[in-house]
Amino acid sequence: MEPGESREPREPGPGAETAAAPHWEEAKTFYDNLAPQKKPKSPKPQNAVTIAVSSRALFRMDEEQRIYTEQGVEEYVRYQLEHENEPFSPGPAFPFVKALEAVNRRLRELYPESEDLFDIVLVTNNHAQVGVRLINSINHYDLFIERFCMTGGNSPICYLKAYHTNLYLSADAEKVQEAIDEGIAAATIFSPSRDVAVSQSQLRVAFDGDAVLFSDESERIVKAHGLDRFFEHEKAHENKPLAQGPLKGFLEALGRLQKKFYSKGLRLECPIRTYLVTARSAASSGARALKTLRSWGLETDEALFLAGAPKGPLLEKIRPHIFFDDQMFHVAGAQEMGTVAAHVPYGVAQTSRRTSPTKQAPPAQ
């Protein structure tokens, strides 16, 4: 320092601040681009519509299931560890899950702070070591699934209520029956016989009526007394709402999310569409079904009364991401037409099916 030179810092010259700013902005942009992109937060379970999906519903695990059945759990785990960097192929629930995520993206655009969203939980009785392959597969397909439940051989059904589950989908019929017995909406999902393209921007869900949305009251009358008595009963009780069935709550949850779009003037562009696809006849028994929905404050976007005709051809036109029915005959018919169908094991049709087997659908492996 030269004699007499001040030790105090000099004031920056004119224009120094503005000259440095662009360099700082460029550096910030550079480092922002290097940082991993943030995923949205998972909603709190009590605020969300929670869909619990088993690993064999979400992914195809045919070879893995064969090894487990033929060679046991140790060989199964060893195989999974050896192949943990190979993603599983999509299973029957995969398009449904992708459609749920598409709805979530729209909801986040409209309501950035809301937690009224779908939340997907992967529920499996797999060993925790298999979790790495499942996580790798989820990341490979860019799925947003943050919650896992891996129970190491024990049934996961006891955890479903703790996760606030609105719907449980599995390829294991026994576990689905457990869930139904616990009062949880559940269905066994089946792969279609052929692949059919489904909407990428609109979630489409189709429901049977009796023993799915409604109780099995009317089906019991058909089984016990025949169609003529059933028509008389429905006419006499047209203004008496049916009791609720196992999936009424799930339709209610879908309706709640639909209303968020309606309130923004987007009824016609809503990314959720629901369908009632029933074997009932409109003239003789349709009014009670519609009045029941109205009494609950619910509706479906479309109501299709088939009067006993096959459901498969109409489902082929609708192309739902999933169709729920309590009768395996209709599940198999939907499969043949390329529809992902799910069996709801509830009501009198299940007793009838055990004593008089009908056409069976092959399970999703």
Cα(317)–Cα(219) distance, integer angstroms: 27
Does residue 201 contact residue 102 with C-beta atoms inside 8 Å? yes
Measured from the Cβ of residue 274, the count of other Cβ atoms closer than 10 Å reads: 22
Sheet strands side by side (includes 302-305)? 147-150, 118-124, 49-54, 165-170, 186-190, 341-343, 322-325, 203-207, 272-278, 302-305
Q: Is 208 a catalytic residue?
A: yes
Q: Which residues contact 102 (CB under 8 A, 6 or more apart)?
A: 200, 201, 202, 203, 271
SS (H, E, C) 267-329: CCCCCEEEEEEECCCHHHHHHHHHHHHHHCCCCCCEEEECCCCCCHHHHHHHCCCEEEECCHH
**Token couple for 307:** 């009067």
Q: Which residues contact 183 (CB under 8 A, 6 or more apart)?
A: none
Catalytic position from the list 32, 181, 195, 208: 208
Catalytic residues: 208
